[in-house]
Structure 1
Amino acid sequence: MSVYPSLTRALAEALVDILWFVEGCEDDQMNPDEAVKVLEVATHLGTQLSSDQRVEFIGLIRFMAAEESDPSRREFLESFPEGFGLVEEES
């Protein structure tokens, strides 16, 4: 039995784990220019999702945030949709 209820959830978890790592890296752990490139690619991919895909992904991220026990990771997840271009930032 899989830990994840769907492939979409597994991939969302993997993407978030990678981006959480990259965003939290110190300069001596990862070249800052390369880190920015990774984050930009992820943001671009998020903007390429269809409306239905975006809604599904945001729902998964919000569900993951609600389940998260680590306060800093929960904050990362809560800001993920805006930070990665999935929704318009509120002014």
Structure 2
Amino acid sequence: MDPLVPVLAGLVVDIVWWLDSCGDEEVDPHSAVKMMENVAWIMGELPADQQQRLIEILGELADAEDDPARASQLRSFPFACGLVEDETTSRTGYPVRHVGHPGMTVRSGRPVLRPGTP
């Protein structure tokens, strides 16, 4: 595998997490939601084998991550983007089954990418 792939996968997670955690005064909420939904749609449009590989890469990155918050982000990303059906499976980094369609978990009008966010 090209060593650039895990770097880019981690970068996508970091950017989406940043968009999700920014205040409304930092980033227009509608723009942030649109961008996060677009990321989820693109991930959902990947062929199943590429989705599976992305999930595996994110699990590997999470396993190697020293920062518990970032490791949690890496593990929850497949669920947040609709690549796996439940968050528990996503946290392990290894899904049981695919959803087959993209989607974000939305609470209070904004996609939620952090586990346990009210």
TM-score normalised over the length of structure 2:
0.66
C-alpha RMSD of the superposition? 1.7
2:54 matched residue in structure 1: 57
1:7 matched residue in structure 2: 4
Q: Write 1 or 2 for the structure with the bigger share of helix.
A: 1
Q: 1:44 aligns with which of 19, 41, 45?
A: 41
What 5-or-longer segments of structure 1 have no aligned partner? none
What SS class does the counterpart of residue 66 from structure 2 fall into?
coil
Task: For 2:35 and 2:86, locate their aligned partners in 1 and report how far apart those are by CA, in whole Å.
Answer: 21
The count of residues paired between Structure 1 and Structure 2 equals: 87
Task: For 2:39 and 2:57, locate their aligned partners in 1 and report how far apart those are by CA, in whole Å.
Answer: 16
What 5-or-longer segments of structure 2 have no aligned partner? 89-118
1:78 matched to 2:61? The reply is no
1:22 matched residue in structure 2: 19
Task: For 2:16 and 2:59, locate their aligned partners in 1 and report how far apart those are by CA, in whole Å.
Answer: 16
Superposed displacement of residue 90, structure 1: 6.0
Deviant stretches of 4+, over 2 Å:
none
Deviations 1:31-61 (A, max 9, x none): 1111101110011011101111011100110
TM-score normalised over the length of structure 1:
0.84
Amino-acid identity (%): 37
